[in-house]
Structure 1
Amino acid sequence: MSEPLYVPVLPTRPHATAAYRGLWPDAQNAVMPVWSLPPRPGLSRTDLATAIRKDLALVVQAQRYQQAWLDAPFAVESEAGVLAELLREASSRGPLRPVTGPGRPAGQQAAALSIARLSGYGLGIRVTVPGEWGSGTTDDVRDLLARADLSVQVDLLLDLVTVRADRPDAGKEALRALDALVPLAPWRTVALLSGGFPEVTADALERGEFEEPRMDWSMWRDIAASGRSYLPVLRYGDYGIQPASALARVPRAAGGGPPWGSLRYTTDQSFVIAKTLARGDGRAAHNRAAARRILELPDFRGPGASGGEVWLRNCAHGSGGVGTFGKWLTVGNIQHMAFAVRSL
C-alpha cells in the first residue's frame, strides 16, 4: 500500500482489531494503525509469552497483507528477550514495522533495530512529547538513526500523547519538535499522533451524556495552516475513541468492569458520550434510548457512513443487539476511524 492517510494508535485488544476489520475497504485502505501492546507486569516468562502471542495473533489476522506498525511501549528490560522472539515471529507472518524510540530499554531498541533489518519492512521511531519539547531529544533520535542500517526505511511517529483543553500550546510544541526532527532523515512517513478523547467516568455520565471538544483535531487544523514545507508529507494520527491513557492499562479479566459503559460518537467539533448499562433491569431499553439520542444528533451521518452507524441505527430501532463493553468500543472506533478518513 502507499503511505497512509490516517494513523490511529490502537491497543492489541479484540475490540480494536474487530474495529479495523469492520472498516469498509475504502476507509481501511487509507488507515495504517500503530498497534500497541499493553503492559503485563508480574507475569512469568511463559505466561508473558502466551499473552503476547495471543495479542500478536489478533493483529496478524486483522492486518493480513496490509502494513502496520507494531509497538511495545511499556516493555521493560527483563521482557526484551521474549518480546524480540515473538515480534520476529509476527513480522515473518505479516508486513509489520517494528517501533522503538529514545529512552526505551536497550533490549527493546536492539530488538526493533534487528527486526527492521531482517524483515525489510522498515522501522518506526516514536518520539513522545507529553509536555514541552526538549531539544536534547534530537540527539537521542540522531543516535538511533545512526544505529539503524542505511538500507532500513524509517518512519517518524511524533506522539504528543494527551491533547485537551489544558494544553493550549500543544501545537507550538509539535511544530518545534517537527522542525527539529524532520531534517534528520529521509523519513518514509511522518505522523503526528495525539489523543483528545476524555476520560469517561461515572461522574461525567451522571446526567446520561456529555460532549467534549476535539482539541486534538483543532490542533491539527492549526498545524495544517502553519505553512511549513513538510506539511505535504505529514499525516494525522490519534488514539481512536479512547483516551491516550487507556493504552497503559493492564488488561483485566473477562467479566470485570463497572455496571455502566458508554456509546461514543465523533462529530467535526466534539466527542459525544452517552451512558449505557452493562447489566441490570431495564438495560436493553436504556441502551436503545442512548442509541436513539445519538441518531437524533444534527451531525449523525446515517448508515451510509460506516458499519458503526449501521449498528447504532439497528440498536436504536430494536432490530439489533444492545451491546457489551467490547462492542461499544468496536462500534465507536469504526465510526470514528471512518469519519477521520473522510475528514482528511
Structure 2
Amino acid sequence: MSGPLYVPVLPAKRHAATAYQQLSPDVQRGVAPLWNLPPLRGVPPGELVGRTRRDVGVVSRVQRSHPAWLDAAFADEAQFAAVAEVMSERSKSSVLRPVTGPDRPGFQQAATLDVARRGQAGFAVRVPLHGEWDGAHAHAVRDLLDRADPAVEADLLLDLGAVRTDRPGAGKEALRALDALVPLTQWRTSALLGGGFPQVAEVELEHGPLHEPRMDWACWREVTASARAYVPWLSYGDYGTQPTAAIARGPSSGQGGPPWGVLRYTTEGAFVLVKVLSRGADNVAVNRAAARELVELPDFRGAVASAGETWLRDCARGRGPKGTGNAEAWLRVGNVQHFAYVVRTLRT
C-alpha cells in the first residue's frame, strides 16, 4: 500500500487546474488531486458528452503523466452515461482513475467497474463519513470489491466532508472507519479526506482578518498520532481553500458574483481570511491593503515559498498589473500557497 503525500479534493474548473499547474515540480510530485466534475443539470442530452470532454480536458491537460482521480459524484444517470463514455475513450490511459462508492446508484457503480476493467488506471472507492461510523458501510464496500475484477487495483478514499469545530469526534470516527476498511483488500492508496475551510458571510470580515482553526488538520494529527499499523501509508487530503460545498456547484452563470471576495492564507493552525472588493472606485486600494495584512503576518513564508506568496507580495507592494485580481485569481492564489505549504509540512 502506497500513495501520494497529499490528495486535495478539487472542482474540475480552471482556477483549480491552474493552481495545480503553478506548483513547483518538487511540490507537484507529492500531489494527486481528486477532481470533481460539476453537475450539468439542465444541459441538453446531446451536449452532455461534449461538455464532459471539455471538463475532463481541463484537468487532463495539467495532469499530463501524473496520476489523479476523477469523480462525478453529483451526476444524474444521463450525465454519468456521458462521463462513462468519455472515460472509456481514455481507458488505456493510467492517469485519470474513475471513482465510485458504496452509496452510489447501481448504474454508476457498474459503469465505473466496467471502465476500470477495460482500462489501466484502476479505480477508487470513496466512502462518505459525515457523522458516526456505521459498520454496515464496510459490508457495502466489501460487496463492491467482490464485483470488481480481481486484477484491477483499488484505492480507498475515506471522505469526512466538512470537519469544523462542531465535529470534535471526527478523528475517533475516522479511526473506527479505517480500522474496518483498511483490512478489506490490499489498497493501492488509502487517503483520509476532510474539509476545514469555512463558509463565511461578509459581515464576519468587516473588522479585520478572520482566523479560522484548521480542524481538518487537527483531525489528521489525531489519526496519525494513533498506533495503527496503517498510519505510515495513509495519505492526507483536504478541500483546499474552499468550503466542501464548492465542489457541488455547477458551471458559472456568467452573470458576475458578489461585490466582495476573500484573500486566503494558511498557517499551521488556522486559515486567515481577509475581505477584498471585486468592483468599486476604491477596490484596488482596499485589495492591496488586504494583501498587506497577509504579507505582514508573522507566519508569512516569504515571496519565494510559492507562486501564491509571490502574487500576494506583488499585490501588497503595488507591482504587476494595475488590477488586483478577481474571484478566480483569489481562489487560485489561495490554493497555490495552501498546496505548497501542506506538501512541505507533510514532508517534514
Asked if the contact 1:76/1:105 (under 8 Å) is kept, the reply is: no
Q: Give the distance between the partners of 2:134 and 2:52, measured in 1 at CA.
A: 33
Partner residue, 1:333 = 335
Counterpart secondary structure, 1:133: coil
Equivalent pair of 1:7/1:32 in contact (CA under 8 Å) = yes
Within 2, Cα distance between the matches of 1:94 and 1:252?
30
- Does structure 2 retain, via aligned residues, the 8 Å contact 1:56–1:90? no
Tell me if the contact between 1:63 and 1:94 (Cα under 8 Å) persists in the aligned partners: no
Structure 1 distance, partners of 2:82, 2:40, is 12
Shift of 1:206: 2.3
Deviation string 1:188-223 (CA, Å, 9 cap, x unpaired) is 100000000000221222224311000010111111
Aligned equivalent of 1:342 = 344
**1:198–1:242 contact (8 Å) kept in structure 2:** yes
Give the distance between the partners of 2:181 and 2:135, measured in 1 at CA. 10
Q: Paired residues, what number?
A: 343
Indicate if the aligned counterparts of 2:32 and 2:67 stay in contact, CA closer than 8 A.
yes
Residues 208, 55 of structure 1: CA spacing in aligned structure 2 closer, same or farther, 3 A cutoff? farther
Q: C-alpha distance in 2, partners of 1:278/1:168?
A: 36
What is the identity, as a one-letter code, of the residue corresponding to 1:69?
W
The Cα shift of 1:91 comes to 4.3
Hey, what's the Cα distance between the residues in 1 that align with 2:223 and 2:105?
32
Per the alignment, do residues 255 and 315 of structure 1 end up closer, same or farther by CA in structure 2, a change over 3 Å counting? farther
Unaligned runs of 5+ in 2: none
Counterpart-to-counterpart distance in 2, 1:4 and 1:329: 23
TM-score of the pair, normalised by structure 1 = 0.97
Inter-partner Cα distance in structure 1 for 2:162 and 2:257: 23
Q: Is the 8 A contact 1:64 1:94 kept in 2?
A: no
* Runs of 5+ consecutive residues of structure 1 not aligned to the other structure: none
TM-score (norm 2): 0.96
Residues 320 and 255 from structure 1, CA distance in 2 versus in 1: closer, same or farther, beyond 3 angstroms? farther
Greater shift, 229-238 or 251-260, is seen at 251-260
Q: CA RMSD in A?
A: 1.3
1:50 Cα offset (Å) = 2.8
Shift of 1:28: 0.2
**What is the identity, as a one-letter code, of the residue corresponding to 1:144?**
L
Distance across 2 between alignment mates of 1:45 and 1:109: 21
Cα distance in 2 for residues equivalent to 1:233 and 1:94: 21
1:120 — aligned with what?
120
1:286-314 alpha-carbon deviations (Å, 9 max, x no partner): 11110001000000000121110001001
CA contact (8 A) 2:209 2:293 kept: no
Q: Using the TM superposition, give the Cα deviation of residue 92 of structure 1 relative to its aligned residue in structure 2, in angstroms.
A: 4.4
Instruction: Give me the identity figure in percent.
Output: 56
Aligned-partner Cα distance in 2 for 1:327–1:58: 17
Kindly indicate whether the alpha-carbon contact (under 8 Å) linking 1:77 and 1:106 is maintained by their aligned counterparts in 2.
no
Match of 2:256 in 1: 256
Larger deviation, residues 50-59 vs 229-238: 50-59
